[in-house]
Amino acid sequence: MDWRDKLRGFYAVLDRDDRMLAEDLLAAARVLQVRLKGAPRGDLLRVAGWARELTAARGALLVVNDDLEAALAVGADAVHLGQDDLPLADARAEIARRGASLLVGVSTHDLEQVRRAAAGGADYLGFGPVFGTTTKERPDPTVGVELLREAVRAAAPIPVVAIGGITPGRAAEVAAAGAHAACAIAAVNRAADIAAAGRAIAAALA
């Protein structure tokens, strides 16, 4: 299966040191991003290490958020960079210098950032927040579904993952806008049935 096929549907994010959560997420997703904001490097490496074992056993992609060194250290499939993280060009140069094979995803919040990341060689983009989100202390302004649709067109053929405020009930809207996948943290990770919530999003994007 191509990595783009694994990326499609529900894009899961592990936001805490919780193996059971990771297993529930992987019951619905074929991609898992480790995103431990503010965690010490040692904790990130430990969690990403066992997440690598889980994703490898399930044939899923492992993405490490923000930290290129950690992604390389655990043998992740991708690193995901925000606008304030290591620049895309620098990440590409370091990956090439190491002789590594690593996908690079980039978070984008407007069409100019989409075009710049696409031209810079990002493998996939996150775009949003499409709706209001509670998982960031200082979220970017919401972009809405129509701007998501424009971002998908501007990025093509690069896959776009819709991010921000997405719920199972809203997943069909981002699917109709052309998103390749949808990332949801609060609506899935805090759900009473995590796997069912993730599967509902995956089904909408199928």
**pLDDT single digits (tens) 65-82:** 999 999 999 999 999 999
Instruction: Name which of 120, 80, 117 is nearest 102 in CA terms.
Output: 80
150 phi and psi angles, rounded to 5 deg: -65, -40
pLDDT of residue 136: 62
CA–CA separation, 169 vs 156, rounded Å? 26
pLDDT for the residue 141: 86
Q: Which domain holds residue 51?
A: 3-205
Residues with catalytic annotation?
Answer: 35, 107, 136
pLDDT at residue number 132: 81
Asked if residue 192 has pLDDT above 90, the reply is: yes
Distances (CA, A) of 180 to 127, 133, 197: 11, 20, 18
State the CATH number of the domain containing residue 158: 3.20.20.70
129 and 139 Cβ atoms separated by less than 8 Å: yes
pLDDT tens for each residue of 168-180:
999 999 999 999 9
98-155 per-position pLDDT tens digit: 999 999 999 999 999 999 999 999 999 999 999 987 666 666 789 999 999 999 999 9
Q: What is the pTM of this model?
A: 0.95
Count of domains forming the chain: 1
